[in-house]
Amino acid sequence: MLLQVLGTAAGGGVPQWNCACPGCSGARAHPGRRRRHASLAVRADEGRWYLVNATPDIGDQIEAHPVLHPGPRPRQTPVAGVVLTDAELDHTLGIGRLREADGLEILATAPVREAVEGRLRLGAVLTPYTDLTWRELRCRGAQPLHADTGLPPGSGVWISAVPVSGKRPRYAADAPGDGAWVVALRLYDPVTGGTALYAPAVAAWSDELHRVAAEADCVIVDGTFWDDEEPCRTGISARTATGMGHLPIDGPGGTAGILATLSARCLYTHLNNTNPLVDPAAPQHKRLARLGLGVAEDGMVIEL
């Protein structure tokens, strides 16, 4: 299994266009600190890749990684589809950027599909441009990432969703039901035995999430905020990190203490521009390193 990290920033990216916080100012002064919106490319099999979430940076993310470039035929692309972990704007707006495709497969849970089609109306908007094929992302039982690989049974990457929370995006705040609005992804390669957990938004650390994390070889998890008071302290919100649906890294109930008990390689992603970890020289990096934890970087490749 091959994972290509396409981006590691929370909504707005780093720098965010209208923000002059230290993280954003530092990224403008030092372009190497820039981070695109959090996304992952997963190789389903040779020449077929799925993008986990379709961010506003999706065009640049594809161009930045040759394995995702088209060819050899003029309109032949290795991008086979998109997997959505939620219906947030920073994870769905890039779908429209893929309208030039002959067809696009999207894996999503039922409530996420309803929000994207019924609230954002992306299905109706894109139908004149391309064919969208929806496949339900199941929360019980694994399924092949690519439904028609032509590979021998038991090969290819298998995917399953782990419910994380019922947090709805603001545009669907009144949507009914408490379904799987936010999920983590378990990715499994039966040939190598490699397992990865990708969880860019985590509101609570459930027993099921811990079980999957404990069995994984690599865990890439929500690192939006360093501590719970960060949004309030930096003035970006009146709500705490947990109030915004993101477990903080540090402090009581933070994920650092949980991840430090795992045997997996653990990396943080989805960093907000206010998070001190966007500065490579921040002392918080050393604190994570002492726990055996790290931060995912744009462009890194993980092979399992």
Give the whole-angstrom CA distance, residue 31 versus residue 48: 31
How high is the pLDDT of residue 149? Answer: 54
Q: Does residue 14 contact residue 278 with C-beta atoms inside 8 Å?
A: yes
- Cα angle 238-120-63, degrees, rounded to a multiple of 5: 90
Which two three-digit tokens encode residue 9?
Answer: 């920033």
Dihedral, CA of residue 246, residue 38, residue 141 and residue 215, to nearest 10: -70
Q: Which two tokens stand for residue 53?
A: 């979430």
- The pLDDT, as a whole number, for residue 239 is 95
Q: What is the pLDDT of residue 146?
A: 87
Which residue has tokens 């989805």? Answer: 270
What's the pLDDT at 140? Answer: 83
Q: How far apart are CA 98 and CA 114, in angstroms?
A: 19
In which residue ranges of the chain is pLDDT below 50?
none
- pLDDT tens digits for range 233-256: 999 999 999 999 999 999 998 999
Write down the pLDDT at residue 47.
Answer: 86
Note down the domain range covering 113: 2-303
Structure tokens at 92: 């769905």
The DSSP string of 83-119 is E-S---HHHHGGGGGGTTSSEEEEEE-HHHHHIIIII
What pLDDT was estimated at residue 45?
85
pTM of the model: 0.96
What is 121-161 written as a DSSP string?
-HHHHHTTT-EEEEEE--SSS-EESSTT--PPTT-S-EEEE
CATH number of the domain encompassing residue 58: 3.60.15.10
Work out how many domains the chain is built from and give that number: 1
Question: pLDDT tens digits for 68-97?
Answer: 999 999 999 999 999 999 999 999 999 999
d(CA 125, CA 105): 16
- Annotate 29-56 with b (16+ C-beta within 10 A) or e (fewer): eeeebbbbbbbbbbbbbeebbbbbbbbb
**What letter represents residue 51's amino acid?**
L
Distance CA 144, CA 269 (A): 25
Contact (Cβ atoms closer than 8 angstroms) between residue 138 and residue 163: no
Residue pointed to by tokens 């378990």? 186
DSSP classification of residue 269: E
Q: What is the pLDDT of residue 8?
A: 98
What is residue 152's predicted lDDT score, i.e. its pLDDT?
Answer: 59
Q: Where are the beta strands (DSSP E) in the chain?
A: 2-7, 39-45, 48-52, 79-83, 103-108, 131-136, 143-144, 158-165, 182-188, 195-199, 218-222, 265-269, 293-295, 301-303
| Token duo for residue 38 | 């959090």
